[in-house]
């Protein structure tokens, strides 16, 4: 089946919660919002740009959803949509990014993003397991980095929205190669370094539902050996949330979450958590739940 005939869920704007399902081709090839997109690209004020962008329709390229979260996933199609932002690729213009992407047989589609400075690309895969989506994105991101293209790590969220765009020089490959994900996922799982589980016990001073929920989510993460801290900002936000909710007792959780990172260091994690405790930044535990959700970790 042609990738463009897959279905996606489209939301009228960033604030909408009621999607409709259409063929991806209708979304990607639409020129209905050309003037609105050109207005967005011409706007210099970032706040106004964000407001204009939020008014554009947006789609979940990787499947159909009843709502914008992984729990709302209705049908997964195996498509991976990758973002290449200008800030992460300052030495490349959009056309240069598309030219690099066009050298890969697995890239089915590449197009300038709504803002005009970046590019998004779609890879068609035979993956049928949405829980593997984030791991697959991480593998593809690492491979593309070796070509000099830095992808946005937030693409690991299977429910991530893609704003409608306009590009008069879209790259489309009709005879694209469907990426066989089984061998690369198996290789990635084989290469996971076994690490000692630091502490399995939740904080003992508090037996609230929040503690139980956090503990169950981290236990699920440990079962998958998934790294949810490869984004440094996410690592900090997780630490702030745990420190705010549990104080010093959250350290055991922080170790368990951090241990699957190839950069994990026990002493460095202890030091960082102590800094977060002293900082006192009020990041609520909901931030932790959101990051876990974005990484496909569920109870």
Give the orientation angle of helix 232-246 with respect to helix 266-279, to 10 degrees: 60
18 and 122 together in one domain? yes
Asked whether residue 299 is assigned to any structural domain, the reply reads no
**Residue where one domain finishes, among candidates 187, 221, 252:** 187
Q: Is residue 192 in a domain? A: no
Q: Is residue 105 part of a domain?
A: yes
Angle at 100 between CA 97 and CA 104, to 5 degrees: 130
Domain check: are 56 and 112 in the same one?
Answer: yes
Is 263 among the domain residues? yes
Residue 277 pLDDT greater than 70, yes or no: yes
Give pLDDT, residue 7. 96
Name the pLDDT band for 73 (thresholds 50, 70, 90): very high
What digits encode the pLDDT tens for the residues 28-60? Answer: 999 999 999 999 999 999 999 999 999 999 999
Predicted pLDDT at 140: 93
Long-range contacts of 13-17 (CB under 8 A, 24+ apart): 13/54, 13/55, 13/56, 13/57, 13/58, 14/53, 14/54, 14/55, 14/56, 14/58, 14/161, 15/54, 17/67, 17/68
To which residue do tokens 């990172």 refer? 261
- Please check whether residues 228 and 110 belong to one and the same domain: no
Partners of residue 80 on adjacent β-strands? 123
pTM for this one?
0.66
Q: 92-101, 168-177, 214-223 — which is least confidently predicted?
A: 214-223
CB distance 8 to 27 below 8 Å: yes
**125, 139 contact by CB (below 8 A):** no
Residues 181 and 219 reside in one and the same domain: no
Q: What is the pLDDT of residue 207?
A: 54
3-state secondary structure of 160: coil
- Lookup result for tokens 């499947």: 63
Same domain, 171 and 228: no
pLDDT at 74 over 50: yes
Indicate the average pLDDT of the chain: 89
Residue written as token pair 């159909």: 64
Report percent pLDDT > 90 for the chain. 58
Would you say residue 38 lies in a domain? Answer: yes
Output the pLDDT for position 191: 60
Q: Would you tell me the crossing angle of helices 285-294 and 209-224 to the nearest 10 degrees?
A: 30
| Those residues with Cβ within 8 angstroms of residue 213's Cβ, 6 or more apart along the chain or in another chain | 289, 299
Q: What is the CATH number of the domain that holds 138?
A: 3.90.920
Percent share of the chain, pLDDT over 70: 93
pLDDT for the residue numbered 190: 64
**For residue 275, which phi and psi values (nearest 5 degrees)?**
-65, -40
Q: Stretch 278-292: mean pLDDT, rounded?
A: 86
Q: In sequence order, which residues have a C-beta less than 8 Å from that of residue 26 and are 6 or more positions away?
A: none
Q: Domain containing 241: what range?
A: 209-294
Q: What is the pLDDT of residue 199?
A: 46
Query: Which one is predicted more confidently, 225 or 117?
Result: 117
**How confident is residue 204, by pLDDT bands cut at 50, 70 and 90?**
very low
- Mean pLDDT in residue range 260-274: 84
Question: H helices of 102-173, where?
Answer: 133-145
Query: Is the Cα dihedral 153, 182, 73, 55 positive or negative?
Result: positive
User: Is 201 within a domain?
Assistant: no
Structural tokens at position 58:
């947006």
42 and 99 in a single domain? The answer is yes
136 domain residue, yes or no:
yes
My answer on whether 182 and 213 are in the same domain is no
- Whether the pLDDT of residue 193 is over 60: the answer is no
Lowest average pLDDT, out of 1-5, 86-90, 95-99, 236-240, goes to 1-5
How far is it, in rounded angstroms, from Cα 125 to Cα 50?
A: 32
What is the domain count for the chain? 2
Per-residue model confidence (pLDDT) at position 83? 96
Asked if 111 and 15 sit in the same domain, the reply is yes
Taking the alpha carbons at both ends of the chain, their separation in whole angstroms is 33
Give the per-residue pLDDT at 133: 94
Tell me what pLDDT residue 261 has.
81
Residue 246 covered by a domain: yes
Indicate the burial class of 72 (C-beta count within 10 angstroms; 0-12, 13-18, 19 or more).
Answer: middle
Indicate if 277 and 145 belong to the same structural domain: no
Within this chain, do residues 230 and 170 fall inside the same structural domain, yes or no? no
pLDDT category at 189 given cuts 50, 70, 90 is: low
- What's the pLDDT tens digit per position in 11-31? 999 889 889 999 999 999 999
* Residue that is written with structure tokens 């990041």 in the block: 283
Is 169 strand, coil or helix? coil
Region label for 55, one of left (φ > 0), alpha (ψ between -120 and 50) or beta (otherwise): alpha
Q: Which tokens hold the place of 107?
A: 């890239």
Read off the pLDDT band of 192 (50, 70, 90). low
**Overall average pLDDT of the 256-281 stretch:** 84
- Tell me: pLDDT of 203 over 60: no
Same domain as 18, residue 148: yes
Same domain flag for 69 and 152:
yes
Higher pLDDT, 160 or 196: 160
């Amino acid at each position: 089946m042609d990738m463009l005939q897959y279905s996606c869920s489209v939301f009228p704007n960033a604030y909408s919660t009621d999607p409709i399902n259409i063929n991806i081709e209708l979304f990607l090839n639409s020129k209905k919002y050309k003037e609105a997109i050109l207005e967005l690209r011409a706007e210099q004020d970032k706040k106004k740009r964000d407001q204009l962008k939020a008014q554009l329709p947006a789609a979940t390229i990787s499947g159909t959803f009843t709502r914008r979260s992984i729990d709302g996933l209705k049908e997964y199609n195996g498509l991976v949509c990758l973002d290449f932002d200008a800030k992460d690729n300052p030495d490349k213009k959009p056309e240069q990014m598309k030219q690099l992407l066009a050298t890969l047989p697995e890239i089915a589609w590449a197009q300038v993003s709504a803002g005009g400075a970046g590019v998004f690309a779609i890879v068609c895969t035979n993956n049928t397991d949405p829980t593997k989506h984030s791991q697959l994105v991480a593998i593809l991101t690492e491979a593309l980095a070796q070509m000099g293209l830095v992808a946005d790590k937030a693409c690991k969220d299977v429910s991530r929205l893609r704003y409608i765009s306009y590009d008069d020089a879209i790259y489309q490959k009709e005879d694209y190669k469907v990426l066989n994900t089984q061998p690369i996922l198996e290789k990635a799982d084989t290469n996971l370094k076994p690490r000692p589980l630091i502490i399995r016990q939740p904080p003992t001073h508090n037996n609230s539902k929040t503690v139980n929920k956090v503990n169950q989510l981290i236990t699920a993460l440990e079962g998958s050996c998934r790294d949810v801290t490869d984004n440094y900002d996410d690592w900090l936000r997780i630490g702030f949330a745990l420190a705010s909710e549990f104080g010093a007792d959250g350290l055991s959780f922080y170790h368990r979450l951090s241990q699957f990172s190839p950069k994990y260091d026990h002493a460095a994690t202890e030091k960082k958590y102590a800094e977060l405790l002293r900082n006192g930044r009020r990041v609520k535990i909901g931030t932790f739940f959101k990051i876990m959700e974005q990484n496909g970790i569920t109870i």
